[in-house]
Amino acid sequence: LNRRLAAFGTTIFAEMSALAARTGSINLGQGFPDTDGPAEVAEAAVRAIRDGRGNQYPPGPGVPELREAIAAHQRRFYNLDHDPDTEVLVTAGATEAIAAALLALLEPGDEVIALEPFYDSYAACIAMAGAVRVPLTLRAPDFRPDLDALRDAVTPRTRLLLLNTPHNPTGTVLTPAELAAIAELAVERNLLVVTDEVYEHLVFEGAHTPLASLPGMRERTVTISSAGKTFSFTGWKVGWITAPPALVSAVRSAKQFLTYVSSGPFQYAVAEALALPDTYYDAFRADLAAKRDLLADGLTAAGLRVFRPQGTYFITTDVSPLGEKDGLAFCRALPERCGVVAIPNQVFYDDREAGATQVRWAFCKKTEVLREAVDRLRAL
């Protein structure tokens, strides 16, 4: 293993899901729903396979039906216009979009400012690109970005801001004022922005505002999303970017040598999913909001300090009220203690101290599963 990757080891998601399987624990670690998305969307994938749509290599940028559906989604929800032929690219999940964007846009030695705790692939992809990550630390209890620190972090070597709103794992949703300050800085310092908005439909308070909708941002922003989160088909790995033509073309240059293409029949199904009526999106959000409340109350009752997320399907907590000093040790011992698995946020921080006692819990699970988990956690 080369030096760029050696530091990263096995992802925490793989480690903790394996632990859950080995111990038969309730898995509130890795973020995937325990209920599949809409039956008609699954049917659409089956139909595509049967009808021979997408069983052979789809077109490099994605099938036209899906690119058009993505453009229509951006128009419908955000009033953003994108040309489906030149401003949309389908990827193998958001994960490939992140990798391809960073590999395409960074030179070795470039600095990338990213919110920490980082989603785990950010740090690894920045490293694979030979670039340097510069964390902007979100700290408990509020997890707001320090905008003065952000301004101070920009140097002549800064090439790109890597954002994530709603933010995994903290649940922070950037406010209009924060987005405006970030946009102003990006324009002033001529920075590119890659923004991971995979939880765009899981904002429980206020509304999601895409960074690309702010003045001066559309031309410098790569926006990433994924069907995995919005439609509860994380195994399909259908993601996408929307961006101006030059940036789409750059990201596509990298993407073509990573996977070339993927998910043929699923692309047709996701095109249908994106066109679901507002009632789908509203019910999805309402369901998860109720689950957030259920799990938040249960974690509070178990004695943890709960930081209520504004978005995503994760709750970050502090386990120090239980007398715990180390969230990683806590998570490794938790299956033995009470048959539940969670994720230690410290592995997403360069500043390990800042995340030492934070633990993340996924609530994209059946109500009865969350209730059982909460019952078990009472033993803590």
Q: Which residues bind ligand GLN (CB under 6 A)?
A: 13, 30-31, 168
- 93 in contact with ligand PMP (CB under 6 A): yes
**From the list ligand PMP, ligand GLN, none, which binds 13 (C-beta under 5 to 8 Å, kind-based)?**
ligand GLN
55 SS3 class: coil
Interface map 151-170 toward ligand PMP (x if CB under 6 A):
-------------x---x--
- 228 in contact with ligand PMP (CB under 6 A): yes
Q: Work out which of 226, 242, 263, 316 binds ligand PMP, going by CB under 6 A.
A: 226
In order, the DSSP letters of 162-214 are EEESSPTTT-----HHHHHHHHHHHHHTT-EEEEE-TTTT-BSSS----GGGS
Kindly state the tokens that stand for 367. 């109500």
Phi, psi dihedral angles at 347 (to 5 degrees): -70, -10
Q: Work out which of 117, 239, 311, 327 binds ligand PMP, going by CB under 6 A.
A: 239
- 94 in contact with ligand PMP (CB under 6 A): yes
Interface map 116-155 toward ligand PMP (x if CB under 6 A):
---x------------------------------------
**From the list ligand PMP, ligand GLN, none, which binds 196 (C-beta under 5 to 8 Å, kind-based)?**
ligand PMP
Q: Which residues contact 155 (CB under 8 A, 6 or more apart)?
A: 111
339 forms bridges with which residues in the sheet? none
Distance spanning both ends of the chain, measured CA to CA: 40
Query: At its nearest, how many Å lie between ligand GLN and the CB of residue 191?
Result: 25
For the chain, the helix, strand and coil percentages under 3-state DSSP, each to the nearest 5: 50, 15, 35
- The footprint of ligand PMP on residues 191-220 (CB under 6 A) is 196, 198
Q: What are the CA-CA distances from residue 198 to residues 119, 157, 224, 294 (Å)? A: 12, 28, 7, 23
Positions touching ligand PMP (CB under 6 A) are 31, 93-95, 119, 164, 168, 196, 198, 226, 228, 234, 237, 239
